[in-house]
Amino acid sequence: MKVQHILSVASKGFILLSALSLLSVSVMAFADPQSVMDLVNVQLGNNDAVSSIRGVYGGVGLTLFMSLIYLMLRDTRKGLAFLCLLWGFYALSRTITIFSEGALGDFGNQWLITESILFVVAVVLVIASKKNCLH
């Protein structure tokens, strides 16, 4: 029982941490889309570009946040599986960029490492939750 409790708290904490990280970028994108793009030295040249960043990073980010909170409260294992996909595909996207366009800069490399670690943590928690019947 103690292992299940620790696993449950760790899993929900991981989902919450992931959700809050997405929320922080979402809030930044709603308030000032250019601030998100400043992280990668890209200037938004027109209102369509501003609208797109606000929509993708703001709107989609908020949707992901709300979905993760729901899954954290209702089905932790599905929340963890979702994070396996999310962090895994983020890392895969950066890896594809390396092979298609060349080396990443400091920002991209740091996030490739971060997203890869988050993916591994999610996988470990999913496997552990299956063994311990976490719901």
pLDDT of residue 134: 59
CB 107 within 8 A of CB 97: no
pLDDT of residue 135: 57
Model-level pTM? Answer: 0.92
pLDDT of residue 74: 97
Nearest Cα to Cα of residue 117 among 5, 3, 18: 18
Residue that has been written with the tokens 């740091």 in this structure: 110
In whole angstroms, give the CA distance from residue 1 to residue 133.
11
List, as one string, the DSSP characters of 45-86: -SHHHHHHHIIIIIIIHHHHHHHHHHHHHH-HHHHHHHHHHH
pLDDT of residue 84: 98
Q: What residues in the chain have per-residue pLDDT under 50? A: none
In whole angstroms, give the CA distance from residue 56 to residue 76.
25
Domain ranges of the chain: 2-131
